[in-house]
Amino acid sequence: MVEDLHPDAATMVKRQQRVQRLLPDRSVRGFRWITRLGAMFRDAPPVAQVADRTIPGPDGEMPIRVYRPEGEKPFPTVVFFHGGGFVSGDLESHDALCRYLTRESECVVVSVEYRLAPEHPFPAAVEDAIAATEWAADHTDALGGTGDLAVAGDSAGGNLAAVAALAARDRGGPDIDYQVLLYPGIGTREDQQSVREHSGLVLSQADLEWFSDCYFGSEITRQNPYADPTRACDHSGLPPATVLTAEFDPLRDGGVAYAEQLRDAGVEVRHVDYEGMIHGFVSMTDTIGRATEAIEDVAGDLRVALGSA
Catalytic residue chosen out of the listed positions 90, 148, 249, 253: 249
- Identify whether 27 is a catalytic site residue: no
- Give the dihedral of Cα atoms 93, 204, 219, 185; nearest 10 deg: 40
d(CA 86, CA 41): 22
- Identify whether 88 is a catalytic site residue: no
CB under 8 Å to 194, separation ≥6 — which residues?
249, 250, 251, 252, 253, 254
Phi, psi of 103 (to 5 degrees): -65, -45
Catalytic residue chosen out of the listed positions 93, 105, 111, 155: 155
| Cβ atoms of residues 14 and 69 within 8 Å | no
Cα(first)–Cα(last) distance of the chain, in Å?
A: 40
Q: In what order do the strands lie in the sheet with 108-112?
A: 49-57, 60-68, 108-112, 75-81, 145-154, 178-182, 241-246, 269-274
**Residue 262: DSSP 8-state:** H
d(CA 67, CA 46): 10
Catalytic residue chosen out of the listed positions 111, 154, 279, 308: 279
d(CA 31, CA 204): 13
- Identify whether 120 is a catalytic site residue: no
Q: Which secondary structure element, helix H or strand E, spans residue 191, and what is its range?
A: none
Active site residue ranges? 155, 249, 279
